[in-house]
């Protein structure tokens, strides 16, 4: 595995603009891990601007990661270098030089992933209804907070703004879902997890190479059938994400087997309106789920719709 990492790293010459000394990074704990990746919390000394220690998140690989995961991490690094928007996760630095694992240092988001946060807020609402005092959160646990209906619309609006920026610079995310949005202080949403993101070809479509894990329930029909990914297929996923927001982090298409999903969608089947969802909001989701990608709204249009909903809500 060491030689694998070495071989790949040799394809990239360290970028002095981003390289951060390992000696100034103190790993504190594991925030979470997937099959091959791991996210750590760390303190970084004198990173990007302020002097002193900053709490940061560090993305790295597990010991048994495969070459494809390494390539995903390195391509995420290349993409993160290019992006700068308040609603897109920011790269702070990187450790790629020999002497340790590859670390992508990104901004720390104290509430963790939006999906987990939504699910936790359910419990909090339930417990407060029962008038049970919840214990003070300990620092090692992501913070919880009450989520209001207005927060949900604000989250949708912020994600639209991040995605609108990405589509402007011709990046297609390909894995937009509540699990891949992080929530930072002041309830700021940050679109994250760029491992699958690719630059768009001239024809605005990306043909995916065949590869494992695919987020079927978030995917547009044209991505499922023909591996076509565009900003319009990101808009379909965004519609699913809005459904996740409204249901406080439920898994889409409850009770439906993923193998049947494509045929159901082709026949016109769509998720029904959740109980607490306004017809106006459901209408937005349904537009995002138009079979014809051209009939879906753009992120710019969606952002305006949510801005209006926010104003009306006051
Ligand atoms: O919901 P969580 O606590 O938030 O669990 C996942 C876990 O790591 C695996 O992805 C958390 N996580 C990922 N990136 C960050 C970050 N930049 N700041 C804080 N937590 C993060 C995520």
Binding residues for ATP: 59
Q: What is the pTM of this model?
A: 0.89
Q: Could you tell me the distance, in angstroms and rounded to a whole number, from the CA of residue 263 to the centre of ligand 1?
A: 34
Block means of pLDDT (10 residues each) for the chain, 314 residues, are 53 82 96 86 90 95 86 89 96 92 96 95 66 48 75 97 96 93 97 70 45 82 94 98 97 93 97 95 98 98 96 78
CA 56 to chain centre: 17
- 202 secondary structure, DSSP code: T
What pLDDT does residue 207 have? Answer: 46
For the complex shown, is ipTM > 0.95?
A: yes
What pLDDT does residue 12 have? Answer: 61
Does ligand 1 lie within 6 Å of residue 37's CB atom?
no
Q: Could you tell me the distance, in angstroms and rounded to a whole number, from the CA of residue 113 to the centre of ligand 1?
A: 6
Does ligand 1 lie within 6 Å of residue 106's CB atom?
yes
* 219-223: Cβ within 8 A, 24+ apart: 220/293, 221/262, 221/265, 221/266, 221/291, 222/293, 223/174
Nearest CA to ligand 1 atom 6: 32
Q: Which atom from ligand 1 is nearest to the alpha carbon of 33?
A: 9
Does ligand 1 lie within 6 Å of residue 57's CB atom?
yes
What pLDDT does residue 167 have? Answer: 95
List all residues 6 or more positions away from 12 whose beta carbon is below 8 Å from its beta carbon.
74, 96
122: left (phi over 0), alpha (psi -120 to 50) or beta: alpha
Does ligand 1 lie within 6 Å of residue 184's CB atom?
no
**Element (H or E) spanning 300, and its range?**
helix 299-313
Nearest CA to ligand 1 atom 7: 32
CB 50 within 8 A of CB 28: no
Count of alpha carbons within 13 Å of 108, Cβ hemisphere only?
A: 21
């Amino acid at each position: 595995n060491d030689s694998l990492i070495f071989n790949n790293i040799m394809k990239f010459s360290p970028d002095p603009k981003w390289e951060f000394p390992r000696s100034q990074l103190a790993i504190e704990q594991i925030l979470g891990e997937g099959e091959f990746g791991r996210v750590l919390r760390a303190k970084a000394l004198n990173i990007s601007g302020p002097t002193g220690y900053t709490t940061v998140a560090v993305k790295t690989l597990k010991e048994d990661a495969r070459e494809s995961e390494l390539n995903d991490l390195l391509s995420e690094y290349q993409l993160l270098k290019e992006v700068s928007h308040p609603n897109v996760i920011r790269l702070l630095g990187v450790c790629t030089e020999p002497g340790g694992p590859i670390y992508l240092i990104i901004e720390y988001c104290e509430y963790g992933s939006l999906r987990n946060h939504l699910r936790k807020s359910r419990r909090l609402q339930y417990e407060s209804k029962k008038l049970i005092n919840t214990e003070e959160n300990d620092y090692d646990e992501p913070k919880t907070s009450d989520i209001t209906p207005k927060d949900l619309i604000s989250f949708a609006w912020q994600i639209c703004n991040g995605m609108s920026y990405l589509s402007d610079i011709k990046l297609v995310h390909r894995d937009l879902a509540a699990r891949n949005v992080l929530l930072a202080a002041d309830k700021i949403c940050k679109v994250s997890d760029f491992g699958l993101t690719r630059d768009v070809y001239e024809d605005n479509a990306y043909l995916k190479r065949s590869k494992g894990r695919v987020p079927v329930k978030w995917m547009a029909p044209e991505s499922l059938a023909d591996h076509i990914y565009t900003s319009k297929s990101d808009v379909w996923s965004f519609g699913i994400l809005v459904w996740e927001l409204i249901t406080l982090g439920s898994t889409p298409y409850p009770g439906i087997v993923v193998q049947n999903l494509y045929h159901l969608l082709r026949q016109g089947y769509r998720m029904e309106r959740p109980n607490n969802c306004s017809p106006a909001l459901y209408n937005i989701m349904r537009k995002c789920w138009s079979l014809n990608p051209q009939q879906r709204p753009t992120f710019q249009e969606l952002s305006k719709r949510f801005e209006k909903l926010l104003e009306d809500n006051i």
